[in-house]
Structure 1
């Protein structure tokens, strides 16, 4: 966790478009999760889940979250983007990583589709039965 407050972090976000998108995601994820946002390093995080690697290593990670970066806003999908292939095809302009969705402008994407994706991901990882991280095969495919 970070000592910096969410409000302080978001106030410093540039460019202005990224700050605007962060405020939209803050409201959306607060509504979806019912959780108070906290800073998890540089991630605005909502809730947490516990994961365990096949090796036995384990830890906790945000159940939902985002990070406004200069190049794009990163939206974390800990159960993997492969789970949402059909929805992502309808989202609008974006790129992906294993467990990350990168959006350059929220005004260019379908926010209803994004909300369905984040809602499903949060429900899945916070149900108490999800124990992997996206890169370990949790939700790929």
Structure 2
């Protein structure tokens, strides 16, 4: 069975965020980390080289593959900030309608900058994602 590429590391979240060249993305990343820490009650930890996660949960797929992943996370990628929230928490689509300028992928939400989105909705989505993940 393949080994997971993303796992909690001892890397410094502050050093990682400070290494972001784009000033706005760096400031937004510190703010997202603060919001996610407040909402989750967990400290920010590095997961792999570029994901900042909060808390952890164990998963197991029908295929037998299993591992640990952050309960919620984000990554300040070059093209966009990627939010990793529960894929199917209740009211997700309704909240995304009020979220602001973003794109979605298979299990991610992409945004260019915090000023493009509604922070109250972000807080609601994080809280709903955590509740949903804990209930599973």
The two structures share one fold, judged by TM-score above 0.5: yes
Task: Specify the TM-score bucket, using the shorter chain as the normaliser.
Answer: 0.7 to 0.9
> Could you say what secondary structure the match of 1:2 adopts?
coil
Q: Distance in 1 between matches of 2:123 and 2:21?
A: 24
Unaligned runs of 5+ in 2: 1-7
Q: Which residue of 1 aligns with 2:21?
A: 14
State the secondary structure of the residue aligned to 2:62.
coil
Distance of 2:18 and 2:60 partners within structure 1: 35
- The residue aligned with 1:25 is 32
Show structure 1 runs of 5+ residues with no match: 131-141
TM-score (norm 2): 0.88
Q: Which runs of 4+ in 1 moved over 6 A?
A: none
Please give the alpha-carbon distance, in whole angstroms, between the structure 1 residues aligned to 2:85 and 2:11. 23
Alpha carbons of structure 1 residues 123 and 82: separation in structure 2 relative to 1, 3 Å: closer
TM-score (norm 1): 0.85
Q: Partners in 2 of 1:28 and 1:3 — Cα distance? A: 21
Match of 1:103 among 111, 117, 121: 111
Q: CA deviation at 1:80?
A: 3.8
Per-residue deviation, 1:82: 8.3
